[in-house]
Amino acid sequence: MATSLKLNNDLQARIQHIAEIQHRSAHWIMCNAIRMYVEFEEHRETFKQEALASWAHYQKTGKHLTGKEVREWLSTWGDELEIEMPKCHK
C-alpha cells in the first residue's frame, strides 16, 4: 500500500537528523515510528477491552480482590514461600 504523508519542515529535519545519526533511511525511521505507534495503540486497546470486561464481570458477580490482597500476593512472587493467587470474593 503506497501512502504519502505531508510533514512540516521541522519534522522532516528532525527525522532526517535521526536517520543520519542511526545510519538509516528517513523511510525506515518513519516506518519504524508508525509500527511502534500502532503496536502501542493495539496494546492500549487490548488493555482497555480487558478492563471493560473485568468491570462488567465485577458488576455481574460482585467478585473481586482488594488492592491489599493483590499487593500481598505479588510481594511473594519469586520467593521460596510464594503464595497462590487469592480467591476472588464478594
In a domain, 53, yes or no: yes
pLDDT digits (tens, 9 = 90+) for 3-62: 898 999 999 999 999 999 999 999 999 999 999 999 999 999 999 999 999 999 999 999
Q: Structural domain of residue 34, as residue ranges?
A: 9-61
In a domain, 66, yes or no: no
In a domain, 70, yes or no: no
Count how many domains the chain has.
1
pTM, two decimal places: 0.73
Q: Is 89 helix (H, G, I), strand (E, B) or coil?
A: strand
| pLDDT of res. 3 | 87
Chain length of the chain: 90
End-to-end CA distance of the chain: 52
